[in-house]
Amino acid sequence: MKDNFEDFIKKEISKSNMQIPDNGFSDQVISNLPVRKKVFARREIIIIISSIISALVFILINGVNLFLTGLINLFNNLIYLKTPNCEFVIVLLIFFLISLLIPYVELRKRIF
Amino acid sequence: MSLPDSILITRVIVNDDHLAFKILVERYQSDIRSLLLRLTHGNKDIVDDLAQDSFIRVYKYLSSYNAKAKFKTWLFRITYNVFCEYYNKNKIVQLDINTLEFRDKESDNSSHAIDFQQALKVLNVNEQIVIILHFEKGFTHKEISKITKQPLGTVKTNIMRGKEKLKKFYNYEG
């Protein structure tokens, strides 16, 4: 329950209320801010270099062809399987979920 | 038209927009400097240095700010941390309540401003911060608990103890 003393204290505080004018304080803070661009630049460079390397490797090993053949084989095997292989499907599902989770976490980190 | 904090923060994080950060500094500098002025018992020489240190730290760690929390609460928490570091290096004198001459009820009103600053000196640093944040800055117990990293119960106890000491200082009979 709020007592009278709380009102008394608030009154005392309001009598000594301090509104401090800026007087160039914000300019002083801005002029002393540390440089942050470099950190971002370094991170961007790492991302760009690793993207270029992965694209080159992908082209060199004929990645498109490999990826498509792999995918076709996978579906063929799944279609013509007589007895469903649960372990195989579970492993496939886990990999599928992980592949979704990684970009989701990365995006969340960047947005929020 | 004044932009909300969230938009200014996003601009600072994404575009490293100094102008947006300047608006944030202008918006909160009075609150931060007045808090530090109270906590340092009016030591103007150190207040601006501590306030500047707080804002620079905010800028540095802004990307780690959780948007679910109020920006003002986060800013006060950083300021309190900066003050604690300063306080641990340079112990600020606390007055003994038993040796003080208490305010006479008949005394004139013009001395009130000095009195409250003087009154704060009878409190220890934990009591001072909770009293200022609660009664002057209008923070709730839960927010004070986040700012000072004290458990909720301790915040309530410190407010109660602080009030008792102030009652004694002001010779208040309610």
For chain A, the domains span 83-112
Nearest Cα of chain B lies from the Cα of A98 at a distance, in angstroms, of 25
Q: Say yes or no: B59 contacts chain A, CB-CB below 8 A.
A: yes
Q: Are residues B4 and B59 in the same domain?
A: yes
B170 to chain A: which residues are within 8 Å by CB?
8, 12
Q: Are residues B169 and B86 in the same domain?
A: no
> What pLDDT score was predicted for residue B110?
44
Average pLDDT over residues B143-152: 93
Range ranked top by mean pLDDT from A6-10, B82-86, B90-94, B103-107:
B82-86
Q: Say yes or no: B117 contacts chain A, CB-CB below 8 A.
A: yes
> What pLDDT score was predicted for residue B1?
61
Question: What pLDDT, in 10s, does the model give residues A62-98?
Answer: 888 888 888 888 878 877 776 666 777 787 888 888 8
Q: Are residues B174 and B134 in the same domain?
A: yes
Answer positive or negative: Cα dihedral of B35, B41, B46, B48: positive
| Burial of residue B6 (number of CB atoms within 10 Å: 0-12, 13-18, 19+) | exposed
Answer positive or negative: Cα dihedral of B93, B95, B99, B105: positive
Q: Say yes or no: B44 contacts chain A, CB-CB below 8 A.
A: no
Q: Are residues B63 and B110 in the same domain?
A: no
Percent of chain B at pLDDT exceeding 70: 84
> What pLDDT score was predicted for residue B105?
44
- Which of A3, A4, A11, A13 best tests the B interface by mutation, with the highest count of B CBs <10 A? A13
Q: Are residues B88 and B98 in the same domain?
A: no
Which tokens go with A13? 């505080």
| Domain C-terminal end among B41, B73, B92 | B92
> What pLDDT score was predicted for residue A98?
86
Q: Are residues B80 and B162 in the same domain?
A: no
Q: Do B172 and A5 touch (CB under 8 A)?
A: yes
Residue B4: pLDDT above 60? yes
Nearest Cα of chain A lies from the Cα of B89 at a distance, in angstroms, of 23
CB B130 within 8 A of CB B158: yes
- CATH code, domain carrying B101: 1.10.10.10
Domain residues for the domain of B159 are 93-174
CB pairs under 8 A between A and B: 87
> What pLDDT score was predicted for residue A11?
83
C-alpha distances out from residue B94 to B6, B21, B36, B87, Å: 39, 36, 16, 12
How many domains is chain B partitioned into structurally? 2
A36 to chain B: which residues are within 8 Å by CB?
16, 59-60
> What pLDDT score was predicted for residue A30?
93
Nearest Cα of chain B lies from the Cα of A40 at a distance, in angstroms, of 10
Q: Are residues B116 and B128 in the same domain?
A: yes
Q: Are residues B4 and B85 in the same domain?
A: yes
| Domain C-terminal end among B92, B125, B160 | B92
Q: Are residues B74 and B139 in the same domain?
A: no
Residue B44: left if φ>0, alpha if ψ -120 to 50, beta else—which one?
Answer: alpha
- Which of B55, B64, B133 best tests the A interface by mutation, with the highest count of A CBs <10 A? B55
User: ∠ at Cα B96 (B94, B97), nearest 5°?
Assistant: 120
- CATH code, domain carrying B55: 1.10.1740.10
Q: Are residues B112 and B30 in the same domain?
A: no
> What pLDDT score was predicted for residue B168?
86
> What pLDDT score was predicted for residue B96?
53
Residue B173: pLDDT above 60? yes
Q: Say yes or no: A19 contacts chain B, CB-CB below 8 A.
A: yes
Q: Say yes or no: A22 contacts chain B, CB-CB below 8 A.
A: yes
CA B168 to CA B97: how far, in whole Å? 8
Q: Which of A7-21, B55-69, B101-115 has the lowest mean pLDDT?
A: B101-115
Q: Are residues B117 and B170 in the same domain?
A: yes
Q: Say yes or no: B60 contacts chain A, CB-CB below 8 A.
A: yes
Nearest Cα of chain B lies from the Cα of A24 at a distance, in angstroms, of 9
CA B114 to CA B41: how far, in whole Å? 11
Average pLDDT over residues B38-58: 90
Q: Do A9 and B33 touch (CB under 8 A)?
A: no
Question: What pLDDT, in 10s, does the model give residues B61-102?
Answer: 988 888 888 899 999 999 999 999 998 887 665 555 555 544
The helix (run of H) or strand (run of E) holding residue A30 is helix A25-31
Q: Are residues B77 and B5 in the same domain?
A: yes
Average pLDDT over residues B56-64: 91
CA B147 to CA B141: how far, in whole Å? 10
> What pLDDT score was predicted for residue A110?
64
Q: What part of A 90-109 touches B (C-beta under 8 Å)?
A: none
Q: Do B37 and A20 touch (CB under 8 A)?
A: yes
Question: What pLDDT, in 10s, does the model give residues B7-17?
Answer: 999 989 888 88
> What pLDDT score was predicted for residue B153?
94
> What pLDDT score was predicted for residue B95?
53
